[in-house]
């Protein structure tokens, strides 16, 4: 298997497109392909590398022309379902349907830095920011709608991203979120001061929608860290001393016949700590570790 080019050779740019996957095991393919979102995935959203500014509403969500929203989440989907439940929280505050919200893969250039994903605490630690950002975006959208419809904010109601004057009815005027800001930036500071919905008004939070990560996981389309392939990528192997007690008893590499793998193209000793040997080769073949 020596000297073969990996079949899936992704240049870095392409790699980043699928590459929330690298960091988090979450594929962007489905979401981006099906929505055709204008977002240039992989490019830093703020124009500079690194997480976008958490003090900006645009860091947390985007409203698209088709009256859907992308919510940017700073946690890894490790099976806990937080990419679904955090979307529920955002949809609730925005008065959008679950079918109108989606998220993208975690990417340090694109998604906010919400800290590590650990101890089943994504909802506890992550939802306050997402909830209040969504509430603040809704407040801004209602202000825009108020100007557009010539009616005070107090008279506006929202259902599934459609803002209506007064009660929903045939004669009432309405405008969609998408029509108000579709794919434009809010350019609005995130202050965290917008009032959030009272729990008694919840329609989505507290329900159990189908998790958005499962279809890709059962079909083999989900990209785990182990699936990432880069051009010229090599495979490393660690050759360890034999036996469970070898480390405990201080086994050291006594000698190393590097010429024993010389016949395997591309294989070389990468590193030689005192207690193990790291090898690399162009493929995952066992020849090199066996030969040494």
Q: Tell me: does residue 252 bind other proteins (CB under 8 A).
A: no
- Number of alpha helices (DSSP H) and beta strands (DSSP E) in the chain: 9, 9
**C-beta of 204: minimal distance to other proteins in Å?**
17
Q: How many residues bind other proteins (CB under 8 A)?
A: 35
Site for other proteins in 43-62 (CB under 8 A): none
167: left (phi over 0), alpha (psi -120 to 50) or beta: beta
Strand segments, DSSP code E, in the chain are 61-63, 69-71, 101-103, 156-159, 162-165, 174-176, 235-239, 268-271, 277-281
CB 91 within 8 A of CB 13: no
Closest to other proteins by CB, 182 vs 209, is 209
Q: Is 217 in the site for other proteins (CB under 8 A)?
A: yes
CA proximity to 71, closest of 130, 158, 137: 130
8 binds other proteins (CB under 8 A): yes
Nearest to 94 by CA among 9, 169, 194, 13: 194
Q: Annotate 52-79 with DSSP letters as a single string.
A: PPTTBHHHHEEE-TTS-EEE---S--SS
Q: Does 241 bind other proteins (CB under 8 A)?
A: no
- Listed ranges 38-46, 147-155, 181-189, 214-222: which one lies at the site for other proteins (CB under 8 A): 214-222
Residue 2 makes contact with other proteins by CB under 8 A: yes
Indicate the residue among 61 and 106 with the shorter CB distance to other proteins: 106
Looking at 31-39, 77-85, 124-132, 251-259, which segment touches other proteins (CB under 8 A)? Answer: 77-85
The pair of three-digit structure tokens given for residue 35, joined into one six-digit string = 């929505």
User: How far apart are CB 30 and other proteins at their closest, in Å?
Assistant: 13
Residue 121 interacts with other proteins (CB under 8 A): yes or no: no
- Residue 268, token pair as written in the block: 């070389």
Q: How far is the CB of 96 from other proteins (least distance, A)?
A: 22
Rule CB under 8 A: say whether 7 interacts with other proteins: yes
Q: Residue 116, interface with other proteins (CB under 8 A)?
A: no
**Which backbone phi and psi does 61 adopt, to 5 degrees?**
-160, 160
| Rounded Cα gap, residues 93 and 195, in angstroms | 10
Work out whether 227 is an interface residue with other proteins (CB under 8 A).
Answer: yes
Looking at the Cβ atoms of 95 and 213, the one nearer to other proteins is 213
Q: Please, which residue, 138 or 237, has the CB nearer to other proteins?
A: 237
Using rule CB under 8 A, residue 260 touches other proteins: no
Classify burial at 223, counting beta carbons within 10 Å of its beta carbon; exposed 0-12, middle 13-18, buried 19 or more.
buried
Residue 232 interacts with other proteins (CB under 8 A): yes or no: no
Beta bridge partners of 269: 279
Pick the stretch among 47-55, 163-171, 180-188, 208-216 that binds other proteins (CB under 8 A): 208-216
Q: Which residues bind other proteins (CB under 8 A)?
A: 1-4, 6-8, 25, 78-81, 210-211, 213-215, 217-224, 226-227, 229, 235, 263, 283-287
């Amino acid at each position: 298997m020596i000297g073969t080019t990996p079949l899936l050779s992704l240049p870095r740019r392409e790699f980043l497109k699928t590459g929330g996957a690298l960091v988090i095991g979450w594929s962007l393919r489905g979401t981006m392909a099906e929505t055709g979102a204008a977002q240039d995935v992989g490019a830093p959203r703020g124009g500079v590398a690194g997480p976008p500014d958490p003090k900006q509403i645009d860091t947390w969500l985007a409203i698209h022309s088709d009256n859907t929203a992308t919510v940017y989440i700073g946690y890894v989907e490790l099976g806990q379902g937080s990419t679904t439940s955090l979307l529920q929280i955002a949809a609730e505050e925005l008065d959008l349907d679950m079918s109108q919200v989606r998220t993208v893969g975690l990417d340090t250039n694109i998604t906010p830095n919400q800290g590590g994903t650990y101890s089943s605490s994504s909802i506890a630690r992550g939802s306050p920011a997402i909830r209040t950002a969504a509430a603040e975006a809704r407040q801004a959208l209602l202000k825009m709608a108020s100007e557009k419809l010539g009616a005070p904010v107090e008279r506006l109601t929202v259902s599934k991203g459609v803002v209506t004057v007064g009660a929903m009815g045939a004669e009432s005027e309405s405008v969609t979120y998408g029509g108000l800001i579709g794919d434009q930036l809010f350019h609005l500071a995130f202050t965290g001061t917008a009032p959030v919905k009272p729990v008694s008004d919840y329609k989505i939070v507290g329900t159990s929608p189908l998790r958005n990560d499962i279809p890709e996981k059962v079909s083999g389309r989900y990209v785990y860290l182990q699936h990432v392939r880069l051009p010229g990528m090599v495979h490393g192997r660690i050759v360890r001393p034999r036996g469970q007690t070898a480390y405990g008893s201080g086994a050291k590499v006594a000698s190393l016949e590097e010429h024993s793998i010389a016949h395997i193209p591309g294989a070389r000793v990468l590193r030689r700590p005192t207690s193990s040997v790291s090898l690399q080769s162009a493929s995952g073949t066992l020849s090199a570790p066996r030969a040494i």
